[in-house]
Amino acid sequence: MKFLFKYLKCFLKRITGVMGIKLLGTALELMIPFVMEHLIDHVVPQNSFSHVLLWGGIMIALAVAVRFLNVTANRMSVLTAKEAAYAIRRDLFSAALRLSGSQMDRVGLPSLISRMTSDSYNVQSFIQSMQTMGIRAPIMLVGGIAVTLAMDAGLALILCIMAPVMIALVVFISMKGIPLYDRVQAGMDDLVRIMRENITGVRVVKALSREGHEKSRFAAANGEQMRRDIRAGVTMAMPGPIVTLFLNVGLALVVFVGARRVNSGQTEPGVILAFLTYFNMILMGVMGLNRIFMMLSKANASAKRIAGVVDLKEELTPVPEELCPAPPDDGFIVFDDVSFSYDADAESRGGGEGFLGSARQKCLEHISFSVPRGGTLGIIGATGSGKTSIINLLMRFYDPQEGRVFVGGRDVRTYQLDALRSQFGAVFQNDVIFADSILENVSFGRDVDENGVSDALDHAMAGEFVSGYDDGLMHRAAIHGANFSGGQKQRLLIARALAANPSILVLDDSSSALDYRTDAALRRAIREHHSGATSVVIAQRVSSIMSLDRIMVLDEGRMIGFGSHEELLASCPAYREIHETQMGDL
């Protein structure tokens, strides 16, 4: 709860006001049965209609005041809960954006989604209820017992005996339920993961006619989540019927004992009616405590999960330049004996999707190369050979376990991350088109005017198809760019990378959906209009990189070839085999 308290500190005055209003409202509500008892036992026997109207009016005034105070307190509590939840979601979102690649692997995207949605909702509900029910339920319970003791101590003893037993029961069962809700919230991660996989991969599922298989897989996860939820719900619901049974037995005893006391003249009929009302109030108080413990259990589990992300220390903090040796040469991009492995335990901890790369071991071994400013580098190799890992280290999504990476004569660890990454224009595998206009997708909130966007679209060979829309740059993309073809999406993504005239252009398998003619025109336009950018191109096709200054050939994380196209044809059998296979020279 320390995590929640730091968000509630700035609302302490308002929360105190809500609790004060709720306390006053509950105190007035407790007076209504007392006034009713006075009206029945003392006012009615006087046969004075005006007095009856007066005390009846007092009861009505109390009821109106109670309603007004409760509504006011509830509105203020809702406002506080919304503002606190807004701050929590904001910080969670900001924390998610600053996670390093290894942290993202450990947390996992499905878990982040469930923390942002169901966990934050549980916390918001608890904050709202804590301010109102958290004060009303105990006051109903304690105040009801106190007033009944003042009215008739003999009858009130029944409550005094039963109340501690009921409270102890509620607390005991609620403590048992807290760990169950931890498992319920953790189970949401698996459910969200399966839903996300099927929603994003729905075309694959349909194409392979695996709807039945995926329904079964989801049903299994959903069934397990249902069983966890039912177990937690049943456990937390147990106090309800038990408390009701206790109170009904107490109610019967009050009626039985009260009737005897009325007959013997020891008490008045109005007291019995008031006691019945107070019994209902006490029941509401006990049930309110049970509900508070239930919401506390959920909120505690959810708050710990949210805090687990928000409180993560930033891993990729800048390192002082004086602690980092100079690069081995004057290249603009330099890798100096770099070895790297993704977090080996990421997969076992729920991060199997990875962050621009999957969780696996030993991706790069002793990689060294240099690219001059304005130079071009192509990277080619089999799937899983470590091509994308080069980019992950270059843009410092991860830090290598061995060796150093330099950009512009500085170790990438010495840069502020924004300063480093602002030099890049990048297109990654499976990159994202946002549900927004083409203009906003390309400019992406940067200082790029409409002319700059149009130029970038032309250089990316996208200007022609964009101008074909009636609304041009304002044409709206569907979610994930579903209303564009694969080639159109890739050209829009390349335009986004080119729009800010980056110092370093990274194209990670970004032209795989383009035909050879368009791909060639694209490469020619980039050479003509962005020759000053240092380019790193990852490709599966030799034709996309054969004209670049240097080409790196990777095999299982090892660099087995580095040089120009002609040099590699002469010295690298693996490259020569790829070239002959793709270019038809067999």
Q: Are residues 490 and 418 in the same domain?
A: no
pLDDT at 505: 94
User: How many domains are contained in the chain?
Assistant: 3
Query: Looking at the domain assignment, is residue 169 inside a domain?
Result: yes
- Rounded CA separation 282/288 (Å): 9
Q: Are residues 195 and 219 in the same domain?
A: yes
Q: Are residues 32 and 60 in the same domain?
A: yes
Would you give per-residue pLDDT tens digits along the chain (586 residues)?
A: 788 888 898 898 999 999 999 999 999 999 998 888 888 888 888 888 888 899 999 999 999 999 999 999 999 999 999 999 999 999 999 998 888 888 888 888 888 888 888 889 889 989 988 888 888 888 888 888 888 888 877 777 777 777 777 777 777 776 776 677 777 777 777 787 787 777 767 767 777 777 888 888 888 888 888 888 888 778 777 777 777 777 778 778 877 887 887 777 777 788 888 878 887 888 788 778 777 877 887 888 889 889 999 998 888 889 998 888 888 888 999 999 999 988 644 444 444 444 444 444 578 999 999 999 999 999 998 888 889 999 999 999 999 999 999 999 999 999 999 999 999 999 988 788 998 999 999 999 888 899 999 999 999 999 989 999 999 899 999 888 888 988 899 999 999 999 989 999 999 988 878 888 888 899 899 999 998 899 999 988 888 899 899 999 999 899 999 999 999 999 999 999 989 888 865 4
Q: Are residues 164 and 275 in the same domain?
A: yes
Q: Are residues 419 and 436 in the same domain?
A: no
Query: Looking at the domain assignment, is residue 19 inside a domain?
Result: yes
Residue 554 half-sphere exposure toward CB, CA atoms < 13 A = 26
Q: Where do we find the tokens 């049965």?
A: 33
Query: Looking at the domain assignment, is residue 576 inside a domain?
Result: yes
> CATH number of the domain that 206 lies in?
1.20.1560.10
- Rounded CA separation 174/133 (Å): 16
Query: Looking at the domain assignment, is residue 116 inside a domain?
Result: yes
The partner residues of 504 in beta bridges, in order of sequence, read: 424, 534
Q: Are residues 485 and 557 in the same domain?
A: no
The domain boundary residue, chosen from 278, 310, 342: 310
Q: Are residues 444 and 552 in the same domain?
A: no
Q: Are residues 121 and 69 in the same domain?
A: yes
Q: Are residues 143 and 183 in the same domain?
A: yes
The 3-state secondary structure of 77-128 reads: HHHHHHHHHHHHHHHHHHHHHHCCHHHHHHHCHHHHHHHHHHHHHHHHHHHH
- Rounded CA separation 467/386 (Å): 38
Q: Distances from the Cα of 368 to the Cαs of 19, 323, 414, 468, 560, in angstroms? A: 65, 21, 20, 46, 11
Q: Where do we find the tokens 């240099």?
A: 370
Query: Looking at the domain assignment, is residue 365 inside a domain?
Result: yes
Residue 73 corresponds to which tokens in the numbers above? 């307190």
Query: Looking at the domain assignment, is residue 64 inside a domain?
Result: yes
Q: Are residues 537 and 462 in the same domain?
A: no
Q: Are residues 585 and 511 in the same domain?
A: yes
Which amino acid makes up residue 161?
I
Query: Looking at the domain assignment, is residue 374 inside a domain?
Result: yes
Residues 110, 113, 114, 117: what is their CA dihedral angle, to the nearest 10 degrees? Answer: -170
pLDDT at 343: 61
- Distance from the Cα of residue 383 to its chain's centroid: 31
Residue 46 CB coordination number (10 Å) = 10
The domain boundary residue, chosen from 501, 526, 541: 501
pLDDT at 354: 44
Which amino acid makes up residue 493?
L
Structural domain that includes position 405: 330-423+504-586
Residue 117 half-sphere exposure toward CB, CA atoms < 13 A = 10
- Rounded CA separation 575/381 (Å): 9
- Rounded CA separation 163/243 (Å): 9
